[in-house]
């Protein structure tokens, strides 16, 4: 039971953070422009940063 898994693994973890109003508005605007959820955007940003930082 519960929500169906979207993607290859369950999204069963939460991240909470503090941000400025400006950052929150920019993040929301990015979601609106791209038509993606904030979760999708955050996952993409983390993946891209991880690739850049672990590149050899």
Query: Nearest-5° angle of CA 18, CA 39, CA 20?
Result: 25
Instruction: Note the pLDDT of residue 8.
Output: 83
| Structural domain total, the chain | 1
The answer to the question of residue 30 being in a domain is: yes
The answer to the question of residue 42 being in a domain is: yes
Give the domain range for residue 39.
21-54
The answer to the question of residue 50 being in a domain is: yes
Residue ranges, the chain, pLDDT below 70: 1-3, 56
Q: Within 1-56, where are the H helices? A: 21-34, 38-54
Instruction: Note the pLDDT of residue 1.
Output: 66
Q: What is the value of pTM for the model shown?
A: 0.79
Give CA–CA dist 35/28, Å, rounded: 10
Instruction: Note the pLDDT of residue 29.
Output: 98
């Amino acid at each position: 039971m519960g929500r169906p898994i979207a993607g290859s693994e369950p999204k069963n973890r939460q991240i909470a953070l503090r941000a400025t109003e400006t950052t929150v508005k920019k993040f929301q605007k990015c979601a609106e422009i791209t038509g993606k959820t904030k979760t999708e955007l955050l996952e993409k940003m983390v993946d891209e940063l991880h690739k850049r930082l672990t590149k050899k």
